[in-house]
Amino acid sequence: MEIDNFHSGLGSSKRELNQEATPIQVRAIISCPKCEYKKAFRNQFYRKDIEMMVVSLKIFDWIVCDKCGDLLKLELEFQL
């Protein structure tokens, strides 16, 4: 009985490690609301490197269109 209790705690920590080891797939789609410009980018981030994703999104948030100068619309798709 004591061995079962000891191993049950290890299983939950292994699951937590597996969650951190699996990458978060991110697809960013930027498009212009005025003209036909549209582009998609893909990247993946690990949970421990989530700060890299935040910095990337802040940069994407202020991109303007080459053709008309309007702010581009940013759409994100996550796959966990």
pLDDT in tens, 21-45: 789 999 989 999 999 899 999 989 8
Domain membership of residue 70 (yes or no) is yes
Rounded to the nearest angstrom, the gap between the alpha carbon of residue 29 and the centroid of all alpha carbons in its chain is 12
Res. 54: pLDDT tops 90: no
Domain count, the chain: 1
Domain membership of residue 31 (yes or no) is yes
Domain region containing 50: 22-79
Domain membership of residue 30 (yes or no) is yes
Domain membership of residue 53 (yes or no) is yes
- 65: Cβ–Cβ under 8 A, 6 or more apart, which residues? 32, 34, 35, 37, 71, 72
Domain membership of residue 37 (yes or no) is yes
What pTM was estimated for this model as a whole? Answer: 0.64
Could you tell me the two tokens for 34? 């005025």
Domain membership of residue 1 (yes or no) is no
